[in-house]
Chain A
Amino acid sequence: MKVSRLTRYGLRTVALVYLFVLLIVPVGTIFYRSFEHGIVQFWEWITTPAAISALQLSLLIVVIVVPLNVIFGVITALALARGRFPGKGLLQAVVDLPFAVSPVVAGVALILLWGYGGWFGGIESLGFRIIFGFPGLVLATLFVTLPFVAREVEPVLREIGTEQEEAAATLGASSWQVFWRVTLPAIRWGLTYGIVLTVARALGEYGAVTMVSSNFPGVSQTLTLLVNSRYTDDYNEFGAYAAATLLMFVAILVLVAMSLIERRAKSRLAEASESTSGEVEIVEPELTPPHGPESVDAKQIVHSHAHPKEGE
């Protein structure tokens, strides 16, 4: 479709201005304010004991939440895409629940369930602290990040269908081998994207986490909570900016790592096509039938291949 020059540039301008105002300006401001007093000041703000332990806590949550959600998410996606069982519609809805429910509500629900006097509150009397402790943070983060992997993987599973898996089965692969060698490689991009989203959300979650956190620095204060606490409680504006920048760095690091993995896999594909596209003059050989079943005897071939090597 031909679009007039005015419309074309008009649309581009609108899109760019929109992006600039809503995304670039706020992020840029934070960067600017973080480094306003120089990199040394920035470094000091992000290396305070509270900041370091907040970073560690955030990363620890990610390290626990991501594997759990990958396992659960892939199983759920398989059930939703392949399974036929009663209550499938219910499962569909339940998986989306964390998207629909406000994180704060999720936090409240966790307190009601695990907190003092809650259904599972008895655990607390055993000296195992859930709410206002680390387990509560993990539970809250798990809740809000639960749909990402399942929802990213499910459509990929539907798209690839079951033929590749059936082919692998007829070739002798067990269910476990089919999963590792065929299914998992086929869904890897959906899975990667699901992980990226999970990591980003786990790092940035505020609403649910703030409800179940004691917000004590070094105990149950995540990096996101630290940003908020420095800003609103300590009136430490620049400290908050510095922590926010650190948070962004971690998130960007994850994105970069993921896209590097992706690029490596893609270059493998590109290499393969280059190695053949370079030789344009490849003429497909005439199809020739094989020479009888005797040539199918692998031992013979191995033998004839083995001999010249021994001679060398």
Chain B
Amino acid sequence: MSIKVIGANKRYGDFAALDDVSIDIPDGQLTSLLGPSGSGKSTLLRAIAGLDTLDSGTVIINDTDVSKKSPQKRDIGFVFQHYAAFKHLTVRENIAFGLKIRKRPKKEVDAKVDQLLEVVGLTVFQKRFPAQLSGGQRQRMALARALAVDPKVLLLDEPFGALDAKVRDDLRRWLRRLHDEVHVTTVLVTHDQQEALDVSDRIAVLNKGRIEQVGTPDDLYDRPANEFVASFLGSTVRLNGELVRPHDIRIGRTPEMASPTTDPNLDVGIIRATVQRVVNLGFETRVELVSASTGEEFAAQITRGDQNALNLQPGETVYARATKVAALDGV
């Protein structure tokens, strides 16, 4: 059940939330809409759901133009950041809501709800009210509620944004496994690049109401179309004017140590720099450096093992060299 958006525009006064956006979301894949707040990613998702109306543009779900249809008629499942749980209904009643609206026979509803309760691991909590659940449990309930009506597409609006880091990690891994089993076309809105890289088949990066690039996580990370995409999907630094990821910088105490590669294409030169600060961040170490020639500040990421071997100290002079340059597409 593919989704197609063609020429979507949405303005709020002077602010263009969506500026002529077109995107193809292929059947059965998990696509993330990634971007900073105000980039239009949520507006795009809500337009697909029919919760927001577009000023102009077309939304096609499963080869049917649904632009004029209400959300009720679009066969979608929608999950909200703040769960949107029906507070006056129990977990079980929440999940059964869509089926009861559709007046399905009671047996069918019961069977389906039992199955979904098991899938989301809430069978023992089925008689509770949403207020008696944790955030992660509430979101799992919301997911089950959305899946109960067998939607053609599943739309998730920052579903893990309100949860703490540990629960968020667990849930997104679980979501990925769920998707691998169910294969319902899924669109996930997120501002968290880690989350997008972790769960997505494809990522669309949005900025200021426009789509900057669409591709697989590796495409976007290794071959970003522009500087925005490069910097949004991970940190970047400038080394002799080239955009480099900090983990692609090699550091040594002598110029030779810093240049073990022989690829002449990657010759951005060796930079003499002074160590300002060394920060151990678990398995990696961030070395903050100042270029001796230009005075530019930049940071390099090396492994903890390298740092243990090098034992860099603030004030030391080292040599840095990029082993890989972020190849901007079309540059």
Contacts and interface: CB of A to CB of B under 8 A. Distances in A.
Same complex for A and B? Answer yes
A84 interface: no
Nearest to A306: B107
B115 A301 contact: yes
B90 interface: yes
Contacts of B77: 170
B124 A276 contact: yes
B127 A272 contact: yes
Interface residues of B, number: 57
Most buried by B among A275, A285, A287, A301: A287
Contacts of A173: 72, 97-98, 101
B234 to A, nearest CB: 28
Contacts of A295: 115
B132 interface: yes
B51 interface: yes
A101 interface: no
B90 A272 contact: yes
Contacts of B71: 166, 169-170
B121 A169 contact: no
Interface string B176-197: 0110111110000000000000
Most buried by A among B74, B80, B88: B88
Contacts of A286: 121
A301 B112 contact: yes
Given A167-B78, A170-B78, A171-B149, A290 B178 contact: yes
Interface string A152-171: 00000000000110111111
Interface in A74-129: none
B97 A272 contact: no
B129 interface: yes
Contacts, number: 134
Contacts of A170: 49, 51, 71-72, 74, 76-78, 146
Contacts of A292: 181-182
B112 to A, nearest CB: 5
A232 interface: no
B111 interface: yes
A250 to B, nearest CB: 30
Given A171-B97, A171-B101, A172-B101, A290 B87 contact: no
Most buried by A among B97, B104, B108, B150: B97
A34 to B, nearest CB: 42
B128 A273 contact: yes
Interface of A: 163-164, 166-174, 177, 181-182, 185-186, 188, 269, 272-273, 275-276, 279, 282, 284-293, 295-296, 298-299, 301-302, 305-306
24 contacts: A164-B87, A166-B71, A167-B78, A167-B142, A168-B97, A170-B51, A171-B149, A173-B101, A181-B86, A188-B88, A272-B129, A273-B132, A275-B127, A285-B123, A289-B174, A289-B181, A290-B181, A291-B181, A293-B181, A293-B182, A293-B184, A296-B115, A298-B111, A301-B112
The list of the 3 closest CB pairs from A to B, nearest first, reads A171-B98, A301-B111, A163-B84
